Structure 1
Amino acid sequence: MRPSARPPARPPFDFSLYLVTDQQLCGENSLLDVVGLAVRGGAQVVQLREKRLGMRALVDLARALCGLLEPFGIPLIINDRVDAALAVGAAGAHLGQSDMPVDLARLLLGPQAIIGLSVERLEHIREAERHDVDYYGVSPIFPTGTKAELVNAWGLGGLAAARRATARPLVAIGGIGIDNAEAVVRAGADGVAVVSAICAAPDPLKAAEDLLRAVRQGKNAVQ
């Protein structure tokens, strides 16, 4: 029997279009402007992932994003840094396999926080099923420069196997764009996480609209 996807105390979230930030990919555009356009285009979750920033700059940027996203009811997730998530009152944190253990992050962030976990192979999912995780970031689906350190890509077949292994939401990331987002959802993802497909897009609002449309087409196809 599959475990329940989340404890009933936490409200469900729509992970259909999940934006992961990268200031450098935004070029001359302000990250806040890009995020604002992406949200207006349909992004439903934003993850602040700026590994080059020190703690002070990260917290300042996170506060600005919280202020931007709050009127839209969009959750801000902080990558890796549970301390930064606590400092700004973010909705939660996304953890990698070498980051703070999930159980400790849950203890610090509390029962209402959203906690995501990156999984790079099926064994990671099987091990994580006994922990209080809200969703898995299945990474990478396809080879991508934003996750160059990860050698083995899941592919659509691997993603389908991940879907069979858990009832929890799966957010697919890595090499996903308008040309393959629908196929990724058909293979089992509950949503797609993108970096360059929005941050580097000439029109982030239209890019978000097009991606969300593709995700919804994928969901309609498997209903």
Structure 2
Amino acid sequence: MKLPVRGLYAITQTEKKSPATIIEEVTAAIRGGAAIVQYRDKNPTDALALAADLVQVCHQYQVPLIINDHIELAAAVAADGVHLGKDDGQISYARERLGGDAIIGVSCYDSIERALAAQRQGASYVAFGRFFPSSSKPLAAPASIGTLSQARRVLDIPIVAIGGILPENGGQLLAAGADLLAIIGGLFDHQPESAARAYGALFGPTDKANPFE
């Protein structure tokens, strides 16, 4: 499944939630317009089972599922790709393990140099952030909105922004150069379907051709 060029990037909120609740919330977010989903779970009890269920739900709606951090888990459940932080493995290994069509995202924090290196190594997209205070990542180093503008000038792959993004502030990140907005609490601290629709309004019409296809 292809990476959407623009739209809402939903990231699971799993702490103190049952697998059934997580599935229900992700389904609601997709119904509200989420274009891609990432399974992120720092303290999993049965990651294999939940990831497999999420793949099934996402594919039912023709939405790609990305696994955070774990290349082997992504391979085991036939997810659409993986998202790698600085300590989560190499792009080349992820590509070898998951295949040429896999979506491979890379966290670049506030570093254009890291993003350029990721692009050279075959990343499908890069992510910058956090841009605003975030309850999900309270200790993450801040990123500059100017980084998005610079990234837009030098990168040829989609750009994801993350960190404290709300419908009220997401528009300035899109205007600066972001293609996708990655959201955790802004979706799942609320009713996910209606929250997803509020973010979706930032993107306008969604029937444009994908230039990355």
Q: TM-score, normalised by structure 2?
A: 0.89
Tell me if the contact between 1:37 and 1:205 (Cα under 8 Å) persists in the aligned partners.
Answer: yes
| 1:216 and 2:207 correspond | no
> For residues 73-116 of structure 1, what are the alpha-carbon distances to aligned partners after superposition, in whole Å with 9 as ceiling and x for unaligned?
11110000011001100001000111111111111111011100
| Equivalent in the alignment of 2:162 | 173
Ranges in structure 2 where 5+ consecutive residues have no aligned partner: 209-213
| Equivalent in the alignment of 2:135 | 145
State the distance in 2 between where 1:197 and 1:90 align.
24
Query: Within 5 Å, which residues of 2 pair with 1:75-90?
Result: 75-90=64-79
Match for 1:197: what amino acid?
A: G
> For residues 27-47 of structure 1, what are the alpha-carbon distances to aligned partners after superposition, in whole Å with 9 as ceiling and x for unaligned?
9x8111110110000001000
| 1:50 and 2:45 correspond | no
Tell me if the contact between 2:6 and 2:203 (Cα under 8 Å) persists in the aligned partners.
Answer: no
Give the C-alpha shift of residue 140 in structure 1.
1.3
Match for 1:194: what amino acid?
A: I
| Equivalent in the alignment of 1:62 | 51
Give the root-mean-square deviation of aligned CA atoms. 2.1
State the distance in 1 between where 2:112 and 2:16 align.
30
State the distance in 1 between where 2:177 and 2:70 align.
28
Ranges in structure 1 where 5+ consecutive residues have no aligned partner: 1-9
Tell me if the contact between 1:115 and 1:135 (Cα under 8 Å) persists in the aligned partners.
Answer: yes
| Equivalent in the alignment of 1:18 | 9
State the distance in 1 between where 2:174 and 2:102 align.
25
| Equivalent in the alignment of 1:4 | none
- SS of the aligned residue for 2:15 comes to helix
How many residues of Structure 1 are paired with residues of Structure 2 in the alignment? Answer: 205
Q: TM-score, normalised by structure 1?
A: 0.85
| 1:34 and 2:37 correspond | no
State the distance in 2 between where 1:25 and 1:158 align.
34
Name the structure with the higher helix share.
1
Match for 2:200: what amino acid?
A: L
Give the C-alpha shift of residue 71 in structure 1.
1.5
| Equivalent in the alignment of 2:125 | 135
Query: Within 5 Å, which residues of 2 pair with 1:98-177?
Result: 98-120=87-109, 121-151=111-141, 153-177=142-166
Tell me if the contact between 2:91 and 2:123 (Cα under 8 Å) persists in the aligned partners.
Answer: yes
Give the C-alpha shift of residue 25 in structure 1.
7.3
> For residues 5-59 of structure 1, what are the alpha-carbon distances to aligned partners after superposition, in whole Å with 9 as ceiling and x for unaligned?
xxxxx845244100001112769x81111101100000010000001115xx111
Give the C-alpha shift of residue 200 in structure 1.
0.8
Runs (4+) of structure 1 exceeding 4 A deviation are none
Tell me if the contact between 1:142 and 1:155 (Cα under 8 Å) persists in the aligned partners.
Answer: no
Identity %: 33
- SS of the aligned residue for 2:204 comes to helix
State the distance in 1 between where 2:125 and 2:119 align.
10
